[in-house]
Amino acid sequence: MTDWGVYLVTQESLSGDRTTRAVVEAAVAGGVDVVQLREKDRSARERYHLGRKLRTLTREAGVAFVVNDRVDLADAVDADGVHLGDDDLPVPVARDQLGPDALIGRSVSFVEDARRAERAGADYLGVGAVYATGSKDDIDDDEYEIGPERVGEIAAAVDIPVVGIGGVTADNAAPIVEAGADGVAVITAVTGADDPEAATRDLAGTVADARGD
Amino acid sequence: MTDWGVYLVTQESLSGDRTTRAVVEAAVAGGVDVVQLREKDRSARERYHLGRKLRTLTREAGVAFVVNDRVDLADAVDADGVHLGDDDLPVPVARDQLGPDALIGRSVSFVEDARRAERAGADYLGVGAVYATGSKDDIDDDEYEIGPERVGEIAAAVDIPVVGIGGVTADNAAPIVEAGADGVAVITAVTGADDPEAATRDLAGTVADARGD
């Protein structure tokens, strides 16, 4: 069973002078549960090579690994699954290509879309933007703030795991989990932290406390 | 066996006020041999829906249908194959995902790259830019002019079919085929023509004459 507590979305362009590989190594050391290869500004070929490295690294650590947007890339690097948005291939197409055991995630902002994604076969939902980030590079889909309350409404409406995303930090993660989310997804809270390992550990602790683990 | 005489690459943004579907219907009526779904500025979801329509249309006409860049999209719309460039997934990865019968194409500009693509399992090559197009939207990879002579060198160096691409029109297609190419690939010569059906027929006639069919 995948734990959805802390879900890191990679973006080297938001990682200061660190490589994504170094950020992921730090996050793994800090207790990250899921890593998503994003890197929107890299070619498929570059993501393929990076993804193979991250797959090895996450597999050795027992961390789930998913790829953003592209089903072919997810399959090519033997990821555990793929994360899809409104502009991507439909969930049933990804299921058909990746098989019954793949983790297929879907970005949603509304209760009705969450129910639809669950019916379509999604295994988990990325729900946001929970908090406005002020950075269109951080969350590029729904850049308006839905707040922890909407995350809670969505978590209550579906039976699949829900992670809150968008402007999440160790300081504001607790209300998201208290509202009913299984965890939080972050980019810059880890990639842009002075110490990504400590930042991941902080987030993991906050999520565990909020869950009452 | 696929005939590679006239290969249309779609791009609605270069099709005036016509839809890509209308352009493809006209090209089919004019005798196109291969259609590639490109539409660089459309989302994967939009290309998926358009691709399904083009697949039906091309299948009914007995025209080969390939998808640009994305292996997952090619599989999702049941295309005959995929066309890959330097920034895309490697040919063997596409082969693994699409199977032995898929048509896998590769963009190349140099003899050595052509040989390497053939060894990697490519079924055909798109070679260019044959002529400078002056439009970076037309051919976005190698926007320098290699000329028909280089196309001929590449065609002589490999055993797989070769189509010349980049700035090709009915007026300058003959030297490409006379140099050894199996056909020509175009965007605007058809999508931007006053009469796309007549433009396709013109190209097909020029290619047939140059081949000595």
> What CA–CA distance (Å, rounded) separates A22 from A25?
5
Chain A residues close to B76, C-beta within 8 Å: 89, 93, 97
A90–B48 CB contact, under 8 Å: yes
Distance from the B47 Cα atom to the nearest Cα atom in chain A, whole angstroms: 9
Q: Which residue does chain A place closest to B85, by CA atoms?
A: A45
Q: Is the dihedral of CA A189, A190, A194, A200 positive or negative?
A: positive
Q: State the angle between helix axes of B111-120 and B147-157 in degrees (0 to 180), rounded to the nearest 10.
A: 40
State yes or no: A38 annotated in a binding site.
yes
Band (B213; pLDDT cuts 50, 70, 90): confident
Contact B72 A97 (CB under 8 A): yes
A20-46: pLDDT as tens digits:
999 999 999 999 999 999 999 999 999
Where do the structural domains in chain A lie, given as residue ranges?
Answer: 6-211
Residue B99 token pair: 């199977």
Instruction: Tell whether the model's pLDDT for residue A142 goes beyond 80.
Output: no
Backbone angles phi, psi at A7, to 5 degrees: -120, 115
With a threshold of 0.85, tell me whether the complex ipTM lies above it.
yes
Query: Do the Cβ atoms of A90 and A61 come closer than 8 Å?
Result: no
A137 has a pLDDT exceeding 90:
no
Residue A18, pLDDT score: 97
Both tokens assigned to B11: 């791009």
Smallest Cα distance from A96 to chain B, Å: 9
Instruction: Tell me if A39 is assigned to a ligand binding site.
Output: yes
The predicted model gives A121-132 an average pLDDT of 96
B25: burial class by Cβ within 10 Å (0-12, 13-18, 19+)? middle
Fold of A6-211: TIM Barrel (3.20.20)
B90 and A43: CB-CB below 8 Å?
Answer: no
Residue with tokens 């010349």: B164
pLDDT tier for residue B100 given thresholds of 50, 70 and 90: very high
Q: Is the per-residue pLDDT at B50 higher than 60?
A: yes
| Rounded Cα gap, residues A151 and B50, in angstroms | 34
pLDDT at position A134: 59
Residue B3 has pLDDT above 60, yes or no: yes
Distance from the A10 Cα atom to the nearest Cα atom in chain B, whole angstroms: 20
Tell which residue, A205, A208, A153, A144, has the closest CA to residue A180.
Answer: A153
The per-residue pLDDT for A132 is 86
Where would I find the beta strands (DSSP E) of chain A? 6-9, 34-37, 64-68, 81-84, 103-108, 124-128, 162-165, 183-186
The per-residue pLDDT for range B115-148, each reduced to its tens digit, is: 999 999 999 999 999 998 755 555 554 468 999 9
